Each structure stands twice: as C-alpha cells, then as structure tokens.
Structure 1
Amino acid sequence: MSGNLYERFLAVFSERGDAPAIELADGTTWSYAQLTDQVGRLARRLVEAGVEPGDRVAIQVDKSPQALFTYLACFQAGAVYLPLNTAYTGPEVSYFLSDAQPRCFVCDPRRADELAPIAGEAGVSAVLNMDPTGAGTLTDGLDAVTPMREVVERDPDDLAAICYTSGTTGRSKGAMLSHRNLESNARTLHSYWGFQDGDVLLHALPLFHVHGLFVASNTALLNGSKMLFLPKFDADQVTRLLPKASVMMGVPTFYVRLLERDDFTKDLVAKMRLFVSGSAPLQPETWRQFKERTGFEILERYGMTEAGMITSNPLNGERRPGTVGFPLPNVQVRVAKEDGTVLGTEEIGILEIKGPNLFQGYWNKPEKTAEEFRPDGFFITGDNAKIDDRGYVHIVGRAKDLIISGGYNVYPKEIELTLDAMNGVKESAVFGVPHPDFGEAVTAMVVAEAGKEDTLSEKGLIDACRTQIAGYKTPKRIFFADTLPRNTMGKVQKAQLRSEYESTFQGAA
C-alpha cells in the first residue's frame, strides 16, 4: 500500500458498502459504494482533462456531495487539491492561479465567463465547472465514464493539498500539506475524540476551509460515518437534524445562533455525543450558557491551516472554558520569546509547535518558510499563548494583528493595501473589534489625501472593497480621521483603535 491517503479511506469504504455516507436535508443519500463509484469516475475525468500526478487542481465551487467527491478524486488521481474560498473575487483568484499554476481549475458555471479568461491568463490548461447541484462540465455525462479503479501511488511526504493562508505582507501563502500530514491528523482526531461505529456527523461547515474539509470530513470518512450534509449553517435545518446526529463540529457563531432559539433544548440533543468548536475563540459565557441549556460541555480545540489540529480539550476529563486544552498525541508545543528563548509555566510568549501534522512549507516561498521555523524544527505560529500549571494551553492574543471574523482569518495588511490603493486615500489602519455574532468585525480607520476629504464616504469605500476582496474581509465599518494614532517610533497604535471603537457593534447581533 502506498502513502496515498485515499487508500486508507478506500479500506474503510469497502467495509461500509451500502451503508449511507452522505444524507442531504431533503433525504437524498449516497452510500459508501456509490461514493466510491463517483470518486472513481471523477478521477478518470480529471485524468482525461490532462491532470497528472503532482499537478494542482484548484476548486472554487459551492459545497455539495460532488464537491467532496472531487476532493477525493484528486487524491485517487495523485493530484494536489487546492480549495479556494467561494467568496474570493476575480483579482484574488487570479493571484492564486498564477501562484499555484494548477493544471485544472473547477469553478461555478455562473462565474465561468468571468473566471475562465483569468484562468487562461494564468496558464491553466483545463477549465471545468460545477454548480451547487453538482451539475456542470466536470460531471456531465459522468455515468458513461469508466470508473478509475487503481489509486495512484504517492509517497507519504508527497503533497496532498495546498491551502492558502493570508500573511502580513498582504499576499497569501500556500501551505503545503502532505498525505502524511492529513492522515496523521485524521487518525489522531478519530481516536482522541472517540469516534465509534454508528456516529453520525452533522456537517454544516464549508469545504474550502481546513475545519470542514480536513477536520470534519476526513475524520468522518475515516470512521465510515454518515454525514448529514448541509450546504451551509442554517439554524432551522440544524435544529431539525440534531436529533439524527451524534457529533457536530462548528464555529462559535453556530452555538450562539442555536442558543438564541427557544426550541434548542436539552431534549433536542438527547442523542448527541459531542459538540466541538474551533476556528475562532469561544467565549466562556457561551460555553457556560450552552452547558446550562443542554448539559453538554462544548469541546474547544485549536488549529491552523499549517498544521490542522494542534491542541484539544479532553474527551474524558475536564474541559476548561477559555482554554484550548492539551497538545494532541505526538504533537509538541512550547511557548517562547521572539528570540527563541523557551518560557516556563504561566509565562506568555509565542506558541511554537512540532509534529507529524506540521506542513511541508510555503509553496514557492523557501525564504518565508525558513523564517517561520526554528533550527530544531519547531514552527512559529504567531499566536500569543501560555501553558498553565495543569498543562492547558491558553491562546491569550494574536501576534501580527490577525482578525478572526466568523471563523475566517483576516490579515489587516491585505485590506490596508486594498484601501490605500483607492483614489483619495492617503493611508489606513485595519483592526478587529468585538462583534456579538462574528466574534470580531473588520473595522478600518482611513486618512484622506489633502483636498480629497469630500470625495470619500464610508459606503463608497466599502462598496469598492467588495469588488476587490472577499466579503468576509471587507470592513463592516470605516471611520475617518486626520491622522492615525502612532507611537514615538511611528507605529500605528491599533490597540488604541480597538479600545476606542470596541463598543461599535454592541447589540448588533
């Protein structure tokens, strides 16, 4: 058996046979046998489109069973899966395609006229499409395609996926994840979170994100679980389906939304086994309210694009609100100063990590990769943390001014570059402030060029941002000032801005 992760999945799928793999809200189901057949046909279609082992396949489509099948088909064909957020605009997609140089790009047919020329300019040789129902040039006539039976051999350290994560330079970096990285994390989570025969996962997360794809999907597939597959989080649908599930993974917003409902009761979740939260900090008050309402303690964990899951509160044992638990098995964590000096218990510094889940580096960025690793192989996460006297990890802040809004990472520099390039804008500062729904809201302070103050408006700048960057990155509020607050060294004081505008969204949920 080669190091291809899909071979590990196939061993499970073959045992499950006609057992359900995916069930949609309307009751439509796919068995594991049907899933395997569809994956094989899609793998053949990709090969016929010219995809060879090691080629990148970029995907920007809405969530559907066929989108998940395509992810697995990339593995079967030996390709490297490259998911793109469906909110990305044309200019953003252009950057990713030019940087990653995929052989094939799959997009939504509703955007084909916009994106196909962009793909052509980036040198992509095959452009296919697929809509939210799973129909499109990728899947049309698929029943006539002979399923690919063999799995292309790959070394465990060969690339399985490239996931782009933003950076402080304003340009996204492609985190290279190997088959070993993904398999080790899936197996660890499967064991650590106690997945068992009969578990049913309520899946309401997007597939372009590590949380929904590598954490939720991979773990469920490795267990041969049924997934109740929703295209997105819908509180009505989630409430209706919870009695049929045993495990749910979500971002904090999911749990806030459920707690707002009168019909979200202890009886409703009587058959549940586990609620997991991640991708953004879970407020201790939400944790406590959830426990009071349902009797369940939400299991909070911590991860990142470059490593999947890193720490987790225990399945059996005390789950401490406000912490992200212990290092996962075979994962090492430490807290250090910027110069690499390792700190002790309760001391705050930058979290550094090491383990089989840790990525291979940044695509085409060897210098940046080298900057982020210590000589002994530890990766510098950029998150400020401490480890308490019981071993629980606390994420106490984020270096580099990262904003987490609705579970998505937003790096201010990218938005600042977008704003600063607009006519009439002299400079800007982007920062996050508390938001009752999204956790944090992207907020900006703008200084106008002399004489152009009357040409700028909040709505105008926000609308202009929406044409350049994804909606979740676009500022929800923009304020204006004559100057930005700076210290004696000239650095913008974003802490001051966050403090000044921290009540902006009170009562906004």
Structure 2
Amino acid sequence: MRAENHNLFAALRAAFPADLDATAIETADTATPLFYTWRDLERGTAMLANLIDSLALPPASRIAVQTEKSVEALMLYLAVLRAGHVFLPLNTAYQASEIEYFIGNAEPAVVVCAGKNFGWVSKIAFVAGTKHVYTLNDDRTGTLLDRAAFHSDRHTPAVRAADDLAAILYTSGTTGRSKGAMLTHGNLLSNAQVLHQAWGWQQSDVLIHALPIFHVHGLFVASHGALLAGAKMVWFSRFDPRATAARLPQATVFMGVPTLYVRLLGEAGLTPEACKGMRLFVSGSAPLLLETFRSWQERTGHSILERYGMSETVMLTSNPYRPESARRGGTVGRPLPGVGVRVHDDQGQPLPACEIGGIEVRGPNVFKGYWRMPEKTKEEFTADGWFKTGDVGKIDAEGYVTIVGRSKDLIISGGYNVYPAEIEGYVNDMPGVAESAVIGVPHPDFGEAVVAVVVAKPGATLEGGAISAALKQQIANFKVPKQVYVVAELPRNTMGKVQKNLLREQHKGLFAR
C-alpha cells in the first residue's frame, strides 16, 4: 500500500489550473516583462529537483539560499520541497560573520548564493564542509541554472510525512544568537489552507508580490496563497511605490509591511479608482499605525486587514475578511480556525478579557522546535504544550487580539510595568509626529528609565520637552519618558521592523552616574 504523500509541493502542484499555459507570474520591473506559465513552473522545478536528486544527498539535507529575489529563486524553493529536502532562506542583508554562523549551525549540503558573493560565500561553505556551492542571479544566470539545464523536466515529488521538515527559518536574533525555527510540511500546508479559506482566495485573483522571499510573509503567506489558489502573481523584485500603485488597477490582492503602505500613501496614483478592483490589502511583520489604517481608508475606500504571525508559527490571527467593516485598526484580529491563543500572567495563570499578559499559542501551524536546541525548545513551551510567543498583549471580550509589545521590550521603572506600545500610541497621535519608538535604558534610581525616540512628519517641528509635557496630561507619571529625542529616522531591519536593540545600545549610558 502506497504511503500518502504530505509533501507541500505536491499539494501546491495539485492546485495549478487546468490550463498550464496560462500566465502564473509576470515580472513587473524587468526591462521587458517576462511571462512564466504554470507549465514553466512545473518544468523548471522538475529540472532543479532532478539536479538536487543527482547529488545523492542524505535525507532531509539543508539547502541554504542567499540570493536576490527572482522567479527562479522561488522555483528553487519549490524544487527543494519537491526533492524532499529542507529549505533554508537567508536574508540578503546578512554579512560574512552572520553567514558563517548560519552555515556552521545548519551544516547545509548545498549553498546557493548570488554570483557577486561566490568568492567569500564559497570559502565559508567549503571550510564548513559543504560540498556543493552554486550561483543564482536575478537575471536568469548562474551555475545552478546552467547545471539544471542538463536534467529532465519530469520529476515525481518525494514522499514526505506531514511531520517531516520543509524549512528552517532563522529568527532575527535581536537578543543573542539567531535560532533556527523548524517548520514541517504539515505546518506550512495547514496554514496555507486555513488562509485560503479565511481570505477568500480565488483562481481569478491577481497578487502584487512586492515582498522579499527569505521571510514568512513573502515566501509563505504571499507565495503559498497565490500558488494554492492557482492565481497569477505580478512580481516586483524590489518594492517601487509608484510602479506598484500603477499596477493596482490590474490586481486584486496586495500584501505589505506597514512601511510599504506609508510609501504608497505618498503616491498621487493611489486613488479609489485605482483600487476599485482590489479586494484585499494585507499588512503584517510590524505594527500598523492607526493613523496609517485610517489614512488608507480615506484615500482608497478600503480597510487594511492586519494579521499576526511569527517565524515559529506562520499566521496565528487575522482580522475578518468579510465584512470589511469588522476589521479593527490597532488589532490583529481573532485567532484563525484551528489556532488556540491565550494570555497568561508571569505565574502562568490565565488572565481575563482585556488584561495584558504573555501570549501563548498552539495549533497545527506551530513549529517543531529550534534546530539543534532541545533545551531552548523545551523552555519555550508550557507544560501543557502551548508555545510562549514572547509577545505581550490582550484579548478583548469579542476575541480580538491586540499586541502591546515584546516581553523583552517591557520596561520596569521603579517597580512599575511600562508597555512601550501604549506610550507610542499616545505619542503617535500628537500633531506633527510621524512615528516613535519607546525603550527602557538603565537608571541608577529606577532600574530602568523610559526614553522616547520620535520622528517628525515632513515640515513639522517637534520639541522633546513639549512632548513630555503633553504626555503628563494623559498618562501616569511613571510612564512619561524621562528623555525624548527627535531624530530623522528610526533604525529598521529589512522587514521594516524597528530595531529597538540598537536604540537601547545607543542610549544605554544616558543616566549613568
């Protein structure tokens, strides 16, 4: 009796439309638009999978990839799944010391990098014991494609169990070394299927794909969504607000981080008419300001759907798809079907509605654990099997989840708990404020002191003392920042998240005696 195949690629391939010669992906920012059909995806992934098979790798070998975004890079991801190995995407911003850590930790059998980086990446890989290093560029060149061209365009997907590893995603590592989150075929497929239903995906959809594909949002949420629906993608290798706005009339779905929405709001081409055919705007990976949510409604007539997920869990919650009026700015919606979300205090006791505490989750989407870190894995799960996200938040009486911040961002000043997101909410509502970040820094008397770093809107003038004075009229004194800095911009990582660890490091000596 043949075992059932739970290979994620097999499920995605089964969703391809009957007409394999229809366009699957159209490039939007190449000199001449390129049109990839579903047959191209079938043949390209087969040839790459056959190349991988020819290497006779041990089962579940890791294949590490650090390349620029391209359709061929997406095909490589699908081919790794197809061949039954483990995909390890690496942020294109990582430098030599970081790559050395990831390759040393994951011990990949294969490394694929951009041609321009081959010299230093291959040296690191070969020293670590990796036997195969290929190049892949964003102009359809590289040794990977040269070698794959000699292989057959027919391939039978490897049989995999739902619990077999499909990918390892290294967390951003804001404190200590990055951890490799192990995601299975079952984790990824269950989440893709839930989102397919929750967000109303149709074969007639057209997704504008402007996100990187080394991260959950672009690689899993966006790509899986379109592939599982058999829907076309309009592919941007890099986000361009003007070009993206120009493509909205031909699309139905757009996914972005909050920064992308802010930049689109600066485009004259963003109008209700341009968005008339759009049915879904999704935001995630960083908090969406309420002002952005409201400005988007006013400009386009649409409400952005904010959701919540992590590298370890893929998507956990979502604002409602229908009715659109049920989407609440400032919240990440309700738990997705099959996903459990609860809030506990520091002693592990459940908290009532609207009380702030640590967010814990469980479900078929929750990862298998951290790569080669059994003790850390055990530490991050409760005795009854719930994953401790490290996020702090609350659930209201109607089930809507609000994220207040990360537990590591919690500030304890004079024995009182201060949640940065609460203070940021007040600051961001002030006239002339574009955004803010609130951090805690060492203080000789209070243990930690609250510090705010604020960015002004173009043309506005802000003064730190005036911001502090205004806050004293709105919140408890222990929450009011001891110091307010006005800066040109906040430090961010490639996904648009504010790097508070850098701000804490920058200001750590502020109150030193």
**Is 2:369 the counterpart of 1:386?**
no
1:168-183 correspondence to structure 2 within 5 Å: 169-183=175-189
Distance 1:373 1:487, change over 3 A: farther
How big is the shift at 1:485? 3.2
1:223 aligns with 2:229: yes
The answer (yes or no) to whether the contact 1:13–1:33 under 8 Å persists in 2 is no
Residue 470 (structure 2) aligns with? none
Residue 133 of structure 1 deviates from its aligned partner by 1.2
Which stretch shows the higher mean deviation, 44-53 or 387-396? 44-53
Contact between 2:245 and 2:267, CA under 8 Å: does it hold in 1? no
Q: Does 1:64 align with 2:84?
A: no
The alpha-carbon deviation at position 340 of structure 1 amounts to 1.0
Would the alpha carbon gap of residues 390 and 288 (structure 1) be closer, same or farther in structure 2, given more than 3 Å must change?
A: same
Q: Is the 8 A contact 1:253 1:439 kept in 2?
A: no
Give the letter aligned to residue 193 of structure 1. W
Is 1:214 matched with 2:217?
no
Residue aligning to 2:250: 244
The 1-side partners of 2:36 and 2:162 are apart by 29
Task: Give the percent of matched residue pairs that are identical in Structure 1 and Structure 2.
Answer: 48
Bigger drift between 14-23 and 260-269 goes to 14-23
In structure 1, the residue matched to 2:153 is 147
Question: TM-score, with normalisation over the residues of structure 1?
Answer: 0.82
Instruction: Quote the residue 1:503 is aligned against.
Output: 486
Q: Who is 1:373 aligned against?
A: 381
Asked if 1:111 corresponds to 2:117, the answer is yes
Deviation at 1:487, TM superposition (A): 4.8
- Using a 3 Å threshold, how does the CA distance of structure 1 residues 437 and 308 change in structure 2: closer, same or farther? farther
Deviation for aligned residue 1:50: 3.9
Q: Secondary structure at the match of 2:443?
A: coil
Q: Which one-letter code corresponds to 1:366 in the other structure?
A: P
- The Cα shift of 1:259 comes to 0.7
Q: Who is 1:21 aligned against? A: 24
Partner Cα separation in structure 2 for residue 90 and residue 23 of structure 1: 33
SS of equivalent residue, structure 2 residue 245: helix
Query: What SS class does the counterpart of residue 49 from structure 2 fall into?
Result: helix
From the superposition, tell whether residues 222 and 438 of structure 1 become closer, same or farther in structure 2 (CA, over 3 Å).
farther
Alpha-carbon distance in structure 1 between the residues aligned to 2:278 and 2:383: 44
Q: 1:188 aligns with which of 183, 187, 194?
A: 194
Give the number of aligned pairs: 438
Which consecutive unaligned segments of at least 5 residues does structure 2 have?
411-426, 454-480, 493-513
Name the SS for the 1:23 alignment partner. Answer: strand
Give, in whole Å, the separation in 1 of the partners of 2:56 and 2:351: 51
Which residue is equivalent to 1:467?
Answer: none
SS of the counterpart of 1:138? Answer: helix
Range 203-212 or range 43-52, more displaced: 43-52
State the alpha-carbon separation in 2 of the partners of residues 242 and 361 from structure 1. Answer: 39
Post-superposition offset of 1:333 = 0.3
Match of 1:325 among 304, 324, 333: 333
Q: What is the Cα deviation at residue 147 of structure 1?
A: 2.5
Structure 1 residues 304-343: aligned runs within 5 Å: 304-317=310-323, 318-343=326-351
Output the CA distance in 2 between the equivalents of 1:127 and 1:196: 39
The SS at the match of 2:391 is strand
Is 1:126–2:132 an aligned residue pair? yes
CA shift at 1:169, angstroms? 4.6
Identify the residue that residue 197 of structure 1 maps to in structure 2: 203
Query: Contact 1:387–1:393 (CA<8 Å) still a contact in 2?
Result: yes
Q: Which consecutive unaligned segments of at least 5 residues does structure 1 have?
A: 403-432, 446-483
Distance 1:506 1:24 in 2: 32
1:276-295 equivalent positions in 2, closer than 5 A: 276-295=282-301
The residue number in structure 2 matching 1:486 is 443
Q: Please say if residues 7 and 185 of structure 2, whose CA atoms lie closer than 8 Å, have aligned partners that are also in contact.
A: yes
Question: Given the alignment, which residue of 255, 265, 274 partners 1:268?
Answer: 274
Q: How big is the shift at 1:293?
A: 0.8
Over aligned residues, Cα RMSD in angstroms? 2.5
Partners of 1:205 and 1:116 in 2: CA distance? 27
Question: Alignment partner of 1:302: what SS?
Answer: strand
